[in-house]
Amino acid sequence: SFIGVLPMASTRGCEDGPLKTQPAKTLPGEPFAQDDSWASERSGETSAETGDKELTRSRAVALQHELLVMYRSPLFQKKLKNLPQDEEEHHTAFQKIVRGVQKEVLPKYGFEATDK
């Protein structure tokens, strides 16, 4: 089933351009890298390969981190900037690009990447 991790806010009317982001903060006891290399190391791992069957706190944070890295990428930000202005087309295109990222990331953590 599809996890509801979509950012639901529309980007319409944002005259300031792409979102301004700040570096991710490391949580106590969670030594994550501050750059994108961590996500690329994790990208080949699946639940079956790691032996993890459940979504632990650590794996949930890793999932969120990987999604955040993908959402911050220049390619994703460019797609956001180029969304159609028509409200209905904008919403459909927004869902399509966000779900494209989710379909790439969610299966690595044992979730189906469907629209259901």
- pLDDT at residue 54 in the model: 81
Q: What is the pTM of this model?
A: 0.54
In a domain, 48, yes or no: yes
In a domain, 104, yes or no: yes
In a domain, 66, yes or no: yes
Domain of 88, in residue numbers: 37-109
- pLDDT at residue 21 in the model: 45
CB distance 60 to 104 below 8 Å = no
Mean pLDDT by 10-residue block, N- to C-terminus, for the chain (116 residues)? 46 48 48 41 46 79 96 96 94 95 93 81
- pLDDT at residue 116 in the model: 72
- pLDDT at residue 36 in the model: 41
In a domain, 2, yes or no: no
Enumerate residues 6+ apart whose C-beta is below 8 A from 116.
1, 2
